[in-house]
Structure 1
């Protein structure tokens, strides 16, 4: 058996905590010396202590843990609880990371707004009509990467290889509060089978203000400010009946989820 100081060293739980667990009836010492009052523990009690700590990590109170220990929850049930908690925590982390990225993007937009110069060159170009496979959705911008992956998988299932540009056509959604109506399009040369999700369409030609930059598909880009300023300063008007587009040309190896992107704003020309 181990003295409380030895057991504390083995378990990395302070003696004060072990005494508290004894008072609560969570973890009684295996033996208490009647003359000295010293507490002694066995190695098997490490298993009980680990279970107490596991339940604490799952968010249970000490009173709840006391009841769970009495019920003798099986190891399989504890593993199931941890897997559920793991999934919840992973979802929370992803949500908070997305929130952080949105905050960073908004900060960049604010900082860009305070500067008069633009790091991007805007040009006017004619975009030729193109045949494309398209996937329509009313969704949040944060879902665009999953839609891009879905289009990629469809293309490869139907014989496409290598890398190909993916186009987001922004239709807008006046009735939506937070979602956006959009199409994910991928240019094709020949024929592709249509499904309930995928349609073959011809994207019309347009004249557009074009700017190439680095962006993430799931985040608003501050480049819209540069486009807006350039259009105003050069006396152009945005064509109201033609959706804007973002063309994701190639992923950056050194940037998480970032792409070389061409933003296209249709102009009356």
Structure 2
């Protein structure tokens, strides 16, 4: 026989948890001294404790653990329970991975803030341009909202243009406009072309109007870090007596979908005098 402290040490559990398992009927001691109330356990009970610890490590609840150990689940039910737990863990890993990427992007932003100044901003006129495009709708204008929407649009756009035998004549361009009265944004993923709209097959061809004045800035690196560049543009616009007129256009001067850290993008914000 083992005291509760000895049994806890052998089974990687705490004395408090063993008392709790006793209280809920999950693992009762072999003997309880009627005079002192001390609990004692047999060596063959260690197997059940080990199974409790292992199943808990999978994230199962104690009720689920008890059902498994007491053979109240058949194989199909046990398989379903474990598959559900697997899906929960996969979703948690995906969420944590996204949070990690956001933290890393924020750290890169903090590093970049000390290097970028409004001296990098250029005010210029943007000529009209014809683009072939596909569109999608994002929940908002922040990079985590835009990225998952715009990224699959470009491979599909290029595939359709290849089918229509249309060759791009210039850089890819993204532009945005509000969707209704909420925060949703229509995402336009386009590429410069020189064809008549009827020649582009099932791809829309539109003419982006000229911008008489635009505050522009060349952004280097992934678009997840674009907020720093947008802050620099906003500061320049405010300091120089201009007013922003809508969302920025993004001209991908060096489009690197497989190595986003090498990307070069010109941000163009239409502006007018206050």
Normalising by structure 2, what TM-score? 0.64
CA distance in structure 2 between the partners assigned to 1:167 and 1:54 by the alignment: 49
User: Which structure 2 residues correspond to residues 1-269 of structure 1 after superposition, within 5 A?
Assistant: 11-14=11-14, 17-18=17-18, 20-28=20-28, 37-41=40-44, 44-45=47-48, 48-50=51-53, 52-54=55-57, 57-58=59-60, 60=61, 62-63=62-63, 65-67=65-67, 69-70=69-70, 71-72=72-73, 74=75, 75-90=78-93, 92-93=95-96, 96-97=99-100, 104=106, 118=117, 120-139=119-138, 140-141=140-141, 142-158=144-160, 159=162, 165-173=171-179, 175-176=181-182, 178-188=183-193, 192-194=200-202, 198-207=203-212, 208-214=214-220, 216-217=222-223, 221-231=227-237, 234=240, 240=245, 244-248=248-252, 249-251=254-256, 259-267=263-271
Shift of 1:175: 1.1
Could you give the per-residue CA deviations for residues 190-229 of structure 1, whole angstroms, max 9, x where no partner exists?
65431xxx42223233342211124654576243343344
- RMSD value over aligned CA atoms? 4.6
List runs of 5+ in structure 1 lacking aligned partners.
Answer: none
SS for the counterpart of 2:207 is: strand
CA distance in structure 2 between the partners assigned to 1:201 and 1:99 by the alignment: 34
Instruction: Report which of the two has the higher share of helix.
Output: 2
Shift of 1:148: 2.7
List runs of 5+ in structure 2 lacking aligned partners.
Answer: 34-38
Shift of 1:122: 1.4
Normalising by structure 1, what TM-score? 0.65
Alpha-carbon distance change, 237 to 250 in structure 1, aligned in 2, over 3 angstroms: same
Number of corresponding residues: 248
